């Protein structure tokens, strides 16, 4: 849910990374300690980190910005484009700490942001945000109690996120784990996400997204949307979600849009091999999305949803309706396929609900299909 309202309480954000790097000896290294950073967790080291980035950016060689063990207090920082260096690696063996007073960060959209960069690797770092960037690698990351979204990928290309752990309280608002929008060729693999909002949220303009081996819970599940925020909106296409586990989440595999006109669409989505454990809404398409029933548009969703496959979805629902397709009466969902789905409720049969949807069920499908 792309809502930038900040929580009213202070949250400490700690990011810890550790990953062995091969052949880094050939890189030009910039140690933040040598540039004035203090690893005591109390002295503001923002200036030193920005100076390290400036030096690495200006180098004609591949570079590494090294953060040794320790705790580094950092304010909002934007690492921007225009670098000579063909590759910049952040090697972070320490802990980056945001100010405890959330109002310090309230003046900025993000805590740590990369804008228009190419060829950056974060090894071992929102709130981390990438905008209009290419060739990004994020690995072995722990993000704890972000005040907002933990990782944002916006307008990017060729992004690989692997081995990330995200932790926030189950009742923390707007703490989406990973948000992707207006981006293509993004892989999110082998991640554990525990948060108070969507584990992974997928916004307009996302194309060629691969999500695999994700454990989600608590949280709101993996969601495409919410869509139809604007009349003119890009579509979401070619998304694969496979080998996922949902533990006590509000939703499992969800597509959501507001009930208002829009030029947007969702097509070519594959949800495969998912295990549900006590999930409120394991499979759901909601084209009348309106959280808390406040300021609902009460129109008809213009989002066109087609060619969506659910295959190998199994486990338990914590509500009686395990499959719910609530589609637009003006633009019914088409090409919806259920195959080898086995969901139960309290060790008995669950139910499915269909509205304005066309599709088919193949092989074993429980609850009984309403398609």
Q: Are 335 and 298 in contact (CB under 8 A)?
A: no
Of the listed ranges 14-28, 32-46, 160-174, 269-283, the least confidently predicted one is 14-28
Of the listed ranges 56-65, 237-246, 260-269, 271-280, the least confidently predicted one is 56-65
Phi, psi of 81 (to 5 degrees): -80, -170
91 is a domain residue: no
> Is residue 134 helix, strand or coil?
strand
pLDDT for the residue numbered 219? 97
Sign of CA dihedral 22, 27, 33, 38: negative
Count of structural domains within the chain: 1
192 is a domain residue: no
pTM for this structure?
0.87
310 is a domain residue: yes
Query: Given pLDDT bands bounded at 50, 70 and 90, which one contains residue 226?
Result: very high
The DSSP symbol for 348 reads: E
Residue 179 annotated among the catalytic residues of the structure: no
Q: Are 135 and 102 in contact (CB under 8 A)?
A: no
Which is catalytic among the residues 110, 176, 197, 326? 197
Residue 150 annotated among the catalytic residues of the structure: no
Q: Are 227 and 269 in contact (CB under 8 A)?
A: no
Of the listed ranges 109-118, 190-199, 226-235, 301-310, the least confidently predicted one is 109-118
Cβ of 264: how many Cβ atoms within 10 Å?
24
What CATH number does the domain containing 239 carry? 2.160.20.10
The DSSP symbol for 174 reads: T
Statement: residue 282 has pLDDT above 80: yes
Cβ of 90: how many Cβ atoms within 10 Å?
25
- The arithmetic mean of pLDDT across residues 275-304, rounded, is 96
Mean pLDDT for the chain overall? 89
318 is a domain residue: yes
pLDDT for the residue numbered 102? 61
Q: Maximum Cα–Cα distance for the chain, whole Å?
A: 65
Alpha-carbon distance values, 150 to 1, 112, 134, 159, 193 (Å): 13, 10, 19, 16, 10
Query: Given pLDDT bands bounded at 50, 70 and 90, which one contains residue 368?
Result: very high
* Residue 7 CB-density burial (10 A; 0-12 exposed, 13-18 middle, 19+ buried): middle
pLDDT for the residue numbered 117? 85
> 311 lies in which domain range?
197-370
Q: What's CA 22's distance to the chain center, in Å?
A: 28
138 is a domain residue: no
Cβ of 260: how many Cβ atoms within 10 Å?
18
CA 153 to CA 136: how far, in whole Å? 10
pLDDT for the residue numbered 127? 61
pLDDT for the residue numbered 310? 98
pLDDT for the residue numbered 125? 44
Phi, psi of 105 (to 5 degrees): -90, -10
233 is a domain residue: yes
CA 3 to CA 149: how far, in whole Å? 9
72 is a domain residue: no
Which is catalytic among the residues 110, 150, 198, 220? 220
128 is a domain residue: no
> Is residue 141 helix, strand or coil?
strand
pLDDT for the residue numbered 109? 65
CA 5 to CA 69: how far, in whole Å? 33
Statement: residue 50 has pLDDT above 60: yes
CA 274 to CA 283: how far, in whole Å? 10
- The arithmetic mean of pLDDT across residues 87-91, rounded, is 90
> Is residue 264 helix, strand or coil?
coil
CA 211 to CA 186: how far, in whole Å? 8
Alpha-carbon distance values, 162 to 130, 186, 192, 212, 340 (Å): 16, 11, 10, 10, 29
């Amino acid at each position: 849910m792309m809502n930038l309202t900040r929580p009213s309480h202070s949250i400490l954000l700690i990011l810890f990374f550790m990953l062995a790097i091969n052949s880094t000896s050939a890189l030009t290294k910039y140690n933040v300690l040598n540039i004035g950073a203090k690893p005591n967790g109390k002295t503001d080291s923002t200036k030193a980190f920005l100076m390290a980035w400036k030096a690495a950016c200006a180098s004609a060689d591949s570079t590494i910005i090294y953060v040794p063990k320790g705790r580094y207090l950092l304010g909002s920082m934007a690492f921007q484009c225009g670098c000579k260096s063909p590759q910049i690696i952040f090697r972070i063996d320490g802990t980056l700490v945001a100010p405890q007073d959330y109002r310090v960060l309230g003046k900025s959209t993000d805590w740590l942001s990369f804008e228009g960069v190419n060829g950056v690797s974060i090894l071992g770092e929102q709130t981390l945000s990438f905008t209009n960037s290419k060739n990004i690698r994020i690995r072995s990351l722990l993000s704890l109690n972000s005040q907002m979204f933990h990782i944002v990928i916006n307008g990017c290309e060729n992004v690989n996120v692997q081995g990330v752990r995200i932790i926030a309280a189950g009742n923390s608002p707007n703490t989406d784990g990973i948000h992707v929008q207006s981006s293509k060729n993004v892989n999110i693999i082998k991640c554990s996400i525990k948060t108070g909002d969507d584990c992974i949220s997928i916004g307009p303009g996302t194309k060629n997204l691969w999500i695999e081996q994700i454990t989600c819970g608590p949280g709101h599940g993996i969601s495409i949307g919410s869509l139809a925020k604007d009349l003119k909106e890009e579509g979401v296409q070619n998304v694969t979600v496979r080998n996922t586990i949902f533990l006590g989440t509000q939703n499992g595999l969800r597509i959501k849009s507001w009930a208002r006109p829009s030029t947007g669409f969702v097509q070519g989505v594959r949800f495969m091999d998912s295990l549900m454990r006590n999930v409120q809404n394991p499979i759901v398409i909601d084209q009348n999305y309106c959280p808390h029933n406040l300021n609902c548009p009460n129109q008809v969703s213009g989002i066109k949803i087609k060619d969506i496959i659910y295959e190998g979805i199994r486990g338990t629902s914590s509500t009686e309706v395990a499959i719910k397709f609530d589609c637009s009466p003006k633009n019914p969902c088409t090409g919806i396929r259920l195959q080898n789905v086995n969901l139960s409720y309290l060790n008995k049969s669950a139910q499915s609900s269909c509205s304005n949807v066309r599709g088919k069920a193949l092989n074993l499908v429980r609850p009984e299909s309403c398609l």
